[in-house]
Amino acid sequence: MSERKASVARNTNETQISISLNLDGRGEAKFETGVPFLDHMLDQVARHGMIDLDIQAKGDLHIDAHHTVEDIGITLGQAMAEALGDKSGIRRYGHAYVPLDEALSRVVIDFSGRPGLEYGVDFPRAAIGEFDVDLFVEFFQGFVNHAKATLHIDNIRGKNAHHVAETIFKAFGRALRMAAEHDERMAGILPSTKGSL
């Protein structure tokens, strides 16, 4: 089985981002993004997805975190697409329900080759610390556009905004892990009747 790794850089007038990942890792993570709460959420993705993830980012944080958060999503999507290669032998679909105290979220992903995001999350407040929760949808939209994945995210319940966010990102990591896993019965087979993903 070939290594499923990728290193991608994205440089614009607004951000400079580099991401390295290993889909078959141990959940080891290193982040320097300048956005501490996003780092905390990305750590959940790495740990629960068993993805080794190194993200270095410099952005126009003197304006706000929008460009940095969105462009990290874009670059992570690009790295995911590169690491998955032609997608033969993977499960393709992944899903997870994750609770944290009163909060419960569900994430379902399909590495379909078709970008799509359905985002059913109403946070109980507009910010977690200094982090604007509206930026989460920008992150996930950037990810699906460049990973070419269909992603459904639903917060089923939750009163604590931090708990809601954490259940989403833990479930996202676990859904990624399931969808990207090798299925021994699908070895060498593309999981699509179209013959293309």
pLDDT of residue 192: 79
Position 3 confidence tier, pLDDT thresholds 50, 70, 90: confident
Integer Rg of the chain from CA: 16
CA angle 95, 98, 99 (to 5 degrees): 160
pTM: 0.96
Residue located via tokens 């939750």: 158
Extents of the domains making up the chain? 5-186
Give residues with Cβ within 8 angstroms of 82, minimum separation 6.
6, 8
CB 55 within 8 A of CB 86: no
Position 149 confidence tier, pLDDT thresholds 50, 70, 90: very high
- Helices in the chain by DSSP H: which ranges? 36-49, 66-84, 135-147, 161-180
What are residue 78's phi and psi, to 5 degrees? -65, -45
Average pLDDT taken over every residue of the chain: 96
Range in 1-5, 46-50, 67-71, 175-179 with the lowest mean pLDDT: 1-5
Residue-wise pLDDT for 62-116, tens only, equals 999 999 999 999 999 999 999 999 999 999 999 999 999 999 999 999 999 999 9
- For the cut 60, the answer to whether the pLDDT of residue 130 exceeds it is yes
pLDDT of residue 1: 57
51 DSSP 8-state letter: -
**Burial (CB count within 10 angstroms: exposed 0-12, middle 13-18, buried 19+), residue 42:** buried
Q: What is the CATH number of domain 5-186?
A: 3.30.230.40
Residue located via tokens 């009747």: 193
